[in-house]
């Protein structure tokens, strides 16, 4: 009880969650009387970062920086527009298709919302779409990022859960495609309700030019996913190859990336990576302490007293994650949830860890667009010049779509496990 109160007090007074986790681990050791653990404290803290899979994280962040500076995102948007053709609400569909393409490269919801808000929203508003609806569609498309590989949340989940990150990427492909299809249905409904305009007709020559212009950019997701699924590269190696490709494409093909842009991109990627990696190190320390104190077994016993059904357990977890996602970002939430509930899910209810990982990551990402914290929500509102309250209401149909997909993943594990089994 004292430990929980101490943690809440630290969060209320504004202590960053990584420092709060370290402080919580210290309080737990002190409260337990096992002060001998302090001798292993530094080793356990740094040991949380001794994982080869973690190298993929800064490399994918760096890839996003190079893409943004090299004009790759804008060309993927033009490609999506050329492929779709003239249909009612065409630019809304293009927005979602481009979001899916960006999700297969960036893997970060906030980064994706930031880039797509600059690219898609002005174009949609110019052709007659309501600005608030355009921002809502762009923000909702960011929810594709956590499950379409490469996903930063999958990387972090895999490191904490000690699971192969490449297999987690595979587990997210089918759910990502399903979520994309459901989002298309939501856009069709919004198009009828708001009277979306028909997109302009693009000539055959114009389409060919857009495809030709975007071909180098589209090679990046193909190389990432193809090399991982084909067994030619690990996610870390694929991220390194893709980053080099993005630099070469930006410098010599599109010529929008200057040599002077490379060092600032490295600095921004290093800063972002340091924040996330410190969180992961704190998570490793926290996980070590709660395991030593046998907290997962205590939680397992309590959950078993509530239900013996794996499905009911997953539904309860989803409700808890929904509320947790409303008040904290996905990365800290994963750090808090996985060490406690993953052993219960796999050891007590025999739930596949990959199914559990996909459900957790998708659920927590939806929290990025929910108040009161909602980093993604406020990023989209700021970038699009729309009130966050209005945006939250407009995104609601997409939340219902995400809820439907999550329930489907609970009842049908093959949706997240079938592709991986077929590739083995």
- Domain of residue 339: give its range: 2-423
DSSP character at residue 87: -
pLDDT of residue 414: 94
pTM of the entire predicted model? 0.77
CB 127 within 8 A of CB 199: yes
Mean pLDDT comparison of 28-37, 85-94, 216-225, highest-scoring range? 216-225
Integer Cα distance of 331 and 271 in angstroms: 16
177: nearest Cα among 225, 213, 214 = 225
Q: Which two tokens stand for residue 148?
A: 């379409």
Condensed to tens digits (0 to 9), the pLDDT of residues 402-419 reads: 999 999 999 999 999 988
Q: What is the mean pLDDT of the chain?
A: 81
pLDDT of residue 248: 92
CB 375 within 8 A of CB 176: no
Mean pLDDT comparison of 106-115, 201-210, 253-262, highest-scoring range? 253-262
């Amino acid at each position: 009880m004292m430990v929980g109160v101490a943690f809440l007090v630290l969060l209320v007074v504004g202590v960053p969650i990584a420092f709060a986790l370290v402080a919580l681990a210290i309080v737990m050791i002190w409260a337990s009387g096992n002060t001998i653990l302090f001798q292993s404290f530094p080793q356990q803290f740094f040991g949380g970062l001794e994982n080869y899979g973690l190298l993929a994280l800064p490399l994918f962040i760096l890839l996003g920086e190079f893409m943004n500076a090299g004009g790759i995102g804008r060309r993927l948007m033009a490609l999506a527009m050329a492929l779709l053709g003239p249909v009612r609400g065409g630019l809304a569909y293009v927005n979602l298709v481009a979001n899916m393409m960006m999700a297969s490269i960036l893997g970060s919801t906030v980064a994706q919302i930031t880039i797509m808000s600059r690219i898609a929203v002005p174009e949609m508003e110019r052709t007659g779409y309501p600005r608030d609806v355009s921002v809502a569609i762009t923000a909702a498309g960011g929810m594709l990022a956590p499950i379409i590989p490469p996903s930063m949340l999958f990387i972090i989940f895999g490191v904490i859960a000690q699971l192969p990150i490449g297999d987690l990427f595979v587990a997210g492909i089918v759910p990502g495609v399903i979520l994309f299809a459901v989002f298309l249905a939501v856009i069709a409904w919004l198009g009828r309700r708001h009277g979306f305009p028909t997109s302009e007709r693009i000539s055959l020559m114009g389409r060919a030019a857009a495809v030709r212009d975007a071909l180098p950019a589209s090679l990046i997701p193909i190389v990432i996913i193809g090399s991982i699924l084909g067994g030619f590269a690990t996610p870390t190696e694929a991220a390194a190859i893709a980053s080099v490709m993005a630099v070469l494409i930006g410098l010599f093909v599109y010529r929008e990336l200057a040599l002077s842009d490379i060092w600032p991109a490295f600095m921004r990627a290093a800063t972002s990576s340091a924040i996330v990696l410190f969180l992961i190190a704190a998570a490793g320390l926290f996980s070590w302490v709660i395991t030593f104190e046998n907290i997962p077994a205590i939680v397992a016993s309590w959950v078993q007293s509530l239900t013996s059904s794996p499905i009911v357990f997953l539904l309860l977890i989803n409700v808890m994650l929904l509320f947790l996602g409303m008040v904290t970002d996905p990365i800290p939430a994963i750090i808090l949830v996985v060490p406690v509930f993953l052993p219960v899910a796999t050891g007590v209810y025999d739930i596949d860890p990959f199914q559990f990982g996909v459900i957790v990551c998708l659920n927590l990402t939806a929290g990025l667009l929910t108040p009161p914290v909602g980093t993604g929500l406020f990023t989209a509102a700021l970038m699009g010049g729309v009130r966050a309250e209005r945006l939250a209401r407009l995104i609601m149909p997409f939340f219902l779509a995400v809820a439907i997909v999550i329930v489907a993943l609970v009842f049908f594990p093959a949706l997240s496990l079938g592709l991986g089994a077929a590739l083995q």
